[in-house]
Amino acid sequence: MRRRIIAALAAFGIAGVAGAGPCSRNIAVPVSANGASFIVDGEKVKGIYPDMLRALAARSGCNFVFTVVPRARQVAMFKTGQADILAPASPTPARDQLGTFVPMVNHRAMLISLAGNRAPISSAQDLLDRRDLRVAVVRGFDYGKPYMALIGELERQGRLFVEVDVIAVARLLHAGSADVTIMGPTLMAGAIRRDRRVHGIEEKLRTEAIPELPWTPSGIYISHALKPEDQAALREMLEKVGKSNQVMEGYLRYFRPDVLSDSVRPR
C-alpha cells in the first residue's frame, strides 16, 4: 500500500518534497553577516558557506533553509536546538556538548586597529596593560578560553564595547570610538566592503598576532538535536567537503592571498 501511495504521489511530482535525499527534513541554518563566509543582503544570503551548502543540496537533495539573525541569536538557537547547523564556528567544549564539529579551514583571531604610531602589542597581557586602548568585539564570537578570559578582563577594566555585528565594530574604529578589535581579519575586510560608511579603511587596517590567540580549526557544527541518521548523512557530506579544501578555495575567490596569509589557511 505504501509503495502504491508513493508511486501515485510521484506521478504528480509530489514525492520527495519532504525527506528528499539523505535528510529526513529541511535543515535549519540561521545565519548572520560574517565576512565572506555569510554575506547578507536584506533577506538574501550568499557567500562561501551558502555557496557550498547549496552545491551540496543540488547533489544530495538535502534542503538547507537560511534565516537571517544577529550572531548572538544564531548561537543561542544552536544551544536550544533550533539551529541544525552553526557556521562558521570554532570548536569549544561547550559547543561539543551540543553538536559534532567538522573542520573546514584553520584560522586565527588577531588584533585589528587602524594604522598609527601606537607601539606594537605583543601579548594579551600587553593589551591589558595598555589601559588607554578601548576594545570592541562582537557578541557571540568565541575563539576559545584565552579569548574569553581576555575579553572578560577587559570588561572588568571597563574598556570593552560589545556590538551586535562586525559592521558595528568597523564603524566604532572608523569613528575613533574604539581603538582595537579582536577577530579574523577577513571578517573585518568583508564588513568594510559591504558598508559605504567605512569604505576606504581596509587599506589602513593594522593586524597583529598574539600568542594567546593561536591557529585553530574553523568549520561547521551539526546539532545533536537532529535525528541520528540526519547527523550521520550531514557529517559524511561535510567531511568530504572539508577534506577537499573547497571552503579554502572559496576564501581565495573573495580575498587576495596576502589578506589570507596571516589569518586563514587550509585545514
Residues 102, 242 contacting (CB under 8 angstroms): yes
Quick one: average pLDDT of 186-202?
82
Tell me which of 203 and 32 has the higher pLDDT.
32
In DSSP terms, 160 is beta-bridged to: 135
**What fold characterizes domain 110-208?**
D-Maltodextrin-Binding Protein; domain 2 (3.40.190)
2-104+218-266 folds as: D-Maltodextrin-Binding Protein; domain 2 (3.40.190)
Cell of 164: 551586535
Domain spans in the chain, listed from the N-terminal domain onward: 2-104+218-266, 110-208
Whole-number pLDDT of residue 21: 63
- Reported as type and span, the H/E element at residue 166 is helix 166-175
3-state DSSP call for residue 232?
A: helix
* The domains spanning 2-104+218-266 and 110-208 adopt the same CATH topology: yes
Is residue 254 pLDDT above 50, yes or no?
Answer: yes
Q: How much of the chain exceeds pLDDT 90, in percent? A: 69
pLDDT number for residue 215: 92
Of the candidates 107, 96, 123, 129, the residue with the CA atom closest to the CA atom of residue 48:
107
Model pTM score: 0.78
Radius of gyration of the chain (CA): 20
For residue 104, give the C-alpha cell.
573546514
pLDDT in tens, 58-81: 999 899 999 999 999 999 999 999
Average of pLDDT values for 3-17? 34
